Chain A
């Protein structure tokens, strides 16, 4: 970190140049300093040789030949995996649906089949009567409120199925 103040366009000394050489080659040296280093390298044979050597070393390190993986490498690994244990833990681990999609999110009385079916019957009955007796349509709309519990439970079910299906395809 010595002489770091000396960055305002002053030419670099050799030690300063060498100190920044790695970052220069990494491409992480700040722009102004890079330029100074470039100029120094242009004029200084000693540092340029150092630069070339280092660059060469980088190149070789980057292209070390791959050693082929020995045959039958995977077998003992795959044989050691406790698949059954993983499968057994899966239901515990499985990600859950958002709270509002859980059945318990709706009050029990809405979920009860008696309420849902009587709601449906009431709604259908009102609509049918409205039509048969030619009553004003507002009566039918009021009657349709009876559908609300059934619709809520159904929507929740569809949402839950969609989330779970998405989790399944995601993986």
Chain B
């Protein structure tokens, strides 16, 4: 989806301190990273801060980037981890909303917020999208991230494995579970698909 070769050329220019090269990377990736952060947090201000922090981090760590990997994988890994860290730090805020949080903070015992079931109307597409985004944001962070990488960023399973540094089998299993959970949550909230 992203041009690995082109990225590498630009990164080489960044490493030489060429200002225009950094601007090019931003142009190429700011939308994707901002939207990833937005969908992880559902909050515009948090998303902006997180996405900016991600780029600042990436640009300051450029020397440590291993050029045998795709730059996009490295960037998405840093962004994903940064969002998950942020969500962990703010876990208390979500406790009351989302029910019990596991000791490691990774697996939530999901309790679906006690919303009144909505009337059985066919939702407009836009509304439906909003619902889907809302439900994604209520997935446990790790599932949220993997769903976004797969469907929103449309990375392949292999690219996700490289991004999250996980075995391919784990990636497949986790995506499978994440989708099941997502579908289940949508049903429990009586959202028509």
Contact = CB atoms under 8 A, between A and B. Distances in A.
Interface of A: 22, 28, 52-54, 56-58, 60-67, 69-70, 73-74, 76-78, 80-87, 89-90, 93, 170-171
B44 interface: yes
B48 to A, nearest CB: 5
Contacts of A54: 179, 183, 193
Contact of A64 (B52, B132, B193): B132
A83 B154 contact: no
Given A57-B182, A61-B132, A66 B22 contact: no
B152 A61 contact: yes
* Interface of A (DSSP majority class): helix
Contacts of B13: 171
Contact of A77 (B47, B59, B179, B183): B59
Interface of B: 9, 12-17, 19, 22-23, 26, 30-31, 34-35, 38-39, 44, 47-48, 51-52, 55-56, 59-60, 62-63, 126, 128-129, 132-133, 136, 147, 151-152, 154, 157, 175-176, 179, 182-183, 186, 193
A90 B34 contact: no
A64 B31 CA distance: 13
Nearest to A25: B179
Contacts of B157: 28
A57 B48 contact: no
A25 B181 CA distance: 17
A67 B59 contact: no
A74 B66 CA distance: 25
Contact of B34 (A53, A67, A93, A171): A67
Contacts of A65: 126, 129
B10 to A, nearest CB: 8
Contacts of B55: 77
20 contacts: A54-B179, A54-B193, A58-B151, A62-B151, A62-B154, A64-B39, A65-B126, A65-B129, A66-B31, A67-B44, A70-B34, A70-B48, A73-B48, A74-B23, A78-B26, A84-B17, A86-B14, A86-B16, A171-B12, A171-B13
A57 B132 CA distance: 8
